[in-house]
Chain A
Amino acid sequence: QVQLQESGPGLVKPSGTVSLTCAVSGDSISSSNWWTWVRQPPGKGLEWIGEISHSGITNYNPSLKSRVNISVDKSKNQFSLKLSSVTAADTAVYYCARRPGYGLSPIEDWGQGTLVTVSS
């Protein structure tokens, strides 16, 4: 069973950058998976942010693409999210997740989520 754990600052100033890391255990970050970020504003629905494959291929939500970067650190078995130029609208619980890389697959494993608040 893959386990995922998000970490990062819980408070970010407007115009700053959300930087989160997801530590992966129970599987190698180099295995055939898509490593995904999803967010959920308080009291609202889920929004898919983007994903990265074991080989570094990325897919991003077009509405966030200009501000998002997802990367992998194989040495630490983790992947990261950077979301720049944030506003209060980016306040959300951020989840990291795993989508199997065989064929087309849905998200199977989720981290516990971490709340990021954008405020001065």
Chain B
Amino acid sequence: DIQMTQSPSSLSASVGDRVTVTCRASQGVNYFLAWYQQKPGKVPKLLIYAASTLESGVPSRFSGSGSGTDFTLTINTLQPEDVATYYCQKYNSAPFTFGGGTKVEIK
């Protein structure tokens, strides 16, 4: 089965910073990669699908890139409301494995 590895596992950045989270698949998943945001105590929310397509209503400071095995989630101009754990998930075929998550905090 394909494993999904995220890095870093946590990061602390200042408001206004640009933040980058990476997700690596152990085998190619084409562009079938989604990013979810889970705020503390809340339900996960779909941010990005097809590696780079923003879900409706998601602020444009979020962006995604990559294909195959290497993917990136970027938050331009980090805001206080972006404090959350971010997960990648492959959905090219079952099992639809999640990455281990990246916790983003404000410095």
Contact = CB atoms under 8 A, between A and B. Distances in A.
Contact of A104 (B36, B92, B95, B97): B92
B43 A48 contact: no
Interface string B64-93: 000000000000000000000101010110
A99 to B, nearest CB: 8
A62 interface: yes
A104 B92 CA distance: 7
Given A46-B101, A60-B94, 6 more contacts: A45-B101, A46-B89, A99-B91, A105-B49, A106-B91, A112-B43
Interface in A50-97: 51, 59-62, 95
Contacts of B45: 110
Interface of B: 1, 32, 34, 36, 38, 43-46, 49, 85, 87, 89, 91-92, 94-101
Nearest to B94: A59
Given A45-B101, A48-B89, A110 B95 contact: no
Contacts of B101: 45-46
Interface string A27-54: 0000000001010000001111001000
A60 B98 CA distance: 14
Interface of A: 36, 38, 45-48, 51, 59-62, 95, 99, 104-108, 110-113
Contacts of B49: 105-106
Given A62-B1, A105-B49, A113-B43, A47 B98 contact: yes
B98 A45 contact: yes
B52 to A, nearest CB: 13
A110 B44 contact: yes
Contacts of A45: 85, 87, 98-101
Contacts of A104: 32, 91-92
A71 to B, nearest CB: 17
A61 B98 CA distance: 11
